[in-house]
Amino acid sequence: EVELVQSGAEVKNPGESLRISCKTSGYSFTNYWIAWVRQMPGKGLEWVGVIDPNDSDTRYSPSFRGQVTISADKSTSTAYLQWSSLKASDTAIYYCARPEDNNDYRVFVYWGQGTLVTVSS
Amino acid sequence: SYVLTQPPSVSVAPGRTATITCGGDNIGSKNVHWYQQKPGQAPVLVIYYDTDRPSGIPERFSGSNSGNTATLTISRVEAGDEAGYYCQVWDSSTDHHVVFGGGTKLTVL
């Protein structure tokens, strides 16, 4: 059974760094891209970016390029989303998701449960 | 960048048919996917590649896509269908980006 289990909720101050995780199981981690999606409070879904765990090829939405870093650890089948300096506007739920097909990332069948990140002083 | 436009809200009585649209420039040339999201839960894929249903999704959910509009249709609407619905495409023209519509809140009266 494919599972994506995300790390727990975080409360941080502006300017702090943070890394959240998405631990996968039930399939070959290096065969499928992993995406990150943001949902700000009461708002819609926004694509953050995606990584190919096989070679760490990473692609970002223009809105998030330079703001976050996506990475993956093949040894633990885990993908990460990190910030070096959080802002209040980063407050949101972040989902990881796995596509249906192992060749691309056109549609997402499997989703993590979401990680709530709250940035407030 | 490519833009997908959805109505913010749609209301329907139980047992009737709900239609949720997703507009985009020549969207009929792209594959459209639809997700359902209930409060406090992660999104669930309900329609992919315009018309296909993942296993476990009721036949009441169907999709179509032509011209500048894609449509998600929910027949015989139930109270449990009340949720947010998002369309999504893969825009190969702009560095292979994933694009979501703004979402539609379906209210079952």
CA–CA separation, B102 and B24 (whole Å): 12
Q: Is residue B6 pLDDT above 80, yes or no?
A: yes
Of A46, A48, A107, A115, which to mutate for an interface test with B (greatest number of B Cβ within 10 Å)? A107
The per-residue pLDDT for A80 is 98
Return the SS3 of A88. helix
Contact A107 B49 (CB under 8 A): yes
Which of A61, A104, A109 comes nearest B97 by C-beta? A61
Which of B33, B42, B54 comes nearest A114 by C-beta? B42
CA–CA separation, A70 and B54 (whole Å): 28
Structure tokens at A15: 């300017």
C-alpha angle A61-B23-B49 in degrees, rounded to nearest 5: 75
The per-residue pLDDT for A19 is 98
Q: What are residue B11's DSSP bridge partners?
A: B107
Contact B18, B81 (CB under 8 A): yes
Strands (E) in A2-107, as ranges, are: 3-6, 10-12, 18-25, 34-39, 45-52, 57-60, 69-73, 78-83, 92-99
The per-residue pLDDT for B1 is 84
User: What is the least distance, in Å, from the CA of B55 to any CA of chain A?
Assistant: 11
Q: In angstroms, how far is CA B100 from the centroid of its own chain?
A: 10
Among chain B residues, CA nearest to A4: B42
Q: Is residue B49 pLDDT above 90, yes or no?
A: yes
Contact A105 B99 (CB under 8 A): no
Q: What is the mean pLDDT of chain B?
A: 95
Which of B43, B45, B48 comes nearest A45 by C-beta? B43
CA–CA separation, B57 and B43 (whole Å): 13
CA–CA separation, B11 and B108 (whole Å): 6
Mean pLDDT of B40-64: 97
Mean pLDDT of B46-69: 97
Q: Is residue B45 pLDDT above 90, yes or no?
A: yes
Q: How many CB atoms lie within 10 A of CB B64?
A: 15
The per-residue pLDDT for B96 is 59
Q: What's the one-letter identity of residue B36?
A: Q
User: What is the least distance, in Å, from the CA of B109 to any CA of chain A?
Assistant: 21
Q: Which residues of chain A have pLDDT under 50?
A: none
